Amino acid sequence: MYIKTIIFCSLFFQLLNGQTNEITKTKLYDKNGTKYINALEYAHTLNAVWMLHPDNEKFELRFQNVKLVLSPHSSFVRINDQIYHMYIPVIYDGNDYYIPVDPFLSILNDSGFPHAFIDSSEKFILSTIPLYNVNAVSVINKVNGTVINLKTKIHFNKEVLAASTANSTSRFPAGLKL
C-alpha cells in the first residue's frame, strides 16, 4: 500500500509541474520618481500567504517553498536564508509596504519566485505564476487503505473524476467525498 501511495504522489506532482502559467499584474506606484509595488497587492496577485509580524513590523510573504521577509525602511530583503541588498529601501507608511521595483525584480528573477517584468505601459509588473487546480495534498495511511485528500480551487463533480487502484481490481467506493 505504501508503494502505491508513493507512485500516486510522484505521478500527481509530475502532473502539477506540467501545468501552464497564468500571467498576473500588479499596479506600480510612483514615489519621488521611483517605481514601487505594494507588497500586499503583490501577495494577493500571487495568491501567496502573507503575514505581518507586529512585534518587529516585518512583512513575510510565502509562495510555494520560498519565504520572503521585508523590514520597514530597510534596503535589505531576505529570501529563505539568503540576504539580498536593494539599493533603495522599502517604504513603510504604517499600513503598507512599498517595494522598489527595479532592484526587487532582479532579485525576484534569481530567487525562486515567479518571473516578473515591467509591462510596456510602465504601470504594472507582470508575473507568471503556475496555474494549479490543486492547492494541497495530504495522504493518510489507514489500516484498511489510504485516504488522499485534495484541496482544490474549484469543486469537481464525481462524473469528471476517474480513478482506480494500481492493481485495477477495485474503484473508489460510492461514498467518495468531493
**Could you give the percent of the chain with pLDDT greater than 70?**
68
- Whether residues 11 and 96 fall in one domain: no
Tell which residue, 25, 23, 22, has the closest CA to residue 38.
25
- Whether residues 102 and 153 fall in one domain: no
- Whether residues 107 and 119 fall in one domain: yes
> What CATH number does residue 92 fall under?
3.30.457.10
- Whether residues 100 and 150 fall in one domain: no
- Whether residues 93 and 110 fall in one domain: yes
Q: Which pairing describes strands 58-63 and 49-53: parallel, antiparallel, or unpaired? A: antiparallel
- Whether residues 68 and 152 fall in one domain: no
**Residue 153 lies in domain:** 1-19+132-178
Separation CA 113–CA 141 (nearest Å): 33
pLDDT at 142 over 60: yes
Separation CA 124–CA 30 (nearest Å): 11
- Whether residues 103 and 148 fall in one domain: no
- Whether residues 136 and 122 fall in one domain: no
The pLDDT of residue 139: 81
The pLDDT confidence band at residue 13, using thresholds 50, 70 and 90, is: low
- Whether residues 55 and 15 fall in one domain: no
Tell which residue, 87, 89, 48, 55, has the closest CA to residue 70.
89
The pLDDT confidence band at residue 34, using thresholds 50, 70 and 90, is: very high
- Whether residues 50 and 8 fall in one domain: no
pTM: 0.63
- Whether residues 108 and 176 fall in one domain: no
pLDDT at 15 over 50: no
Q: Go through the chain and tell me how many residues it has.
A: 178
Q: Which residues contact 105 (CB under 8 A, 6 or more apart)?
A: 116, 117, 118, 125
Q: Which residue has the higher pLDDT, 130 or 171?
A: 130
Domain final residue, candidates 114, 130, 146: 130
For every residue of the chain, DSSP letters joined together read -HHHHHHHHHHHHHHHHTSPEEEEEEEEEEETTEEEEEHHHHHHHHT-EEEEETTTTEEEEEETTEEEEE-TT-SEEEETTEEEE-SSPPEE-SS-EEEEHHHHHHHHTTTTSPPEEE-TTSSEEEEEEE--SEEEEEEEEETTEEEEEEEESS---GGG---B-TTSS-B--TT---
- Whether residues 116 and 148 fall in one domain: no
Q: How many domains does one find in the chain?
A: 2
Whole-Å CA distances, 150 to 1, 55, 166: 19, 35, 19
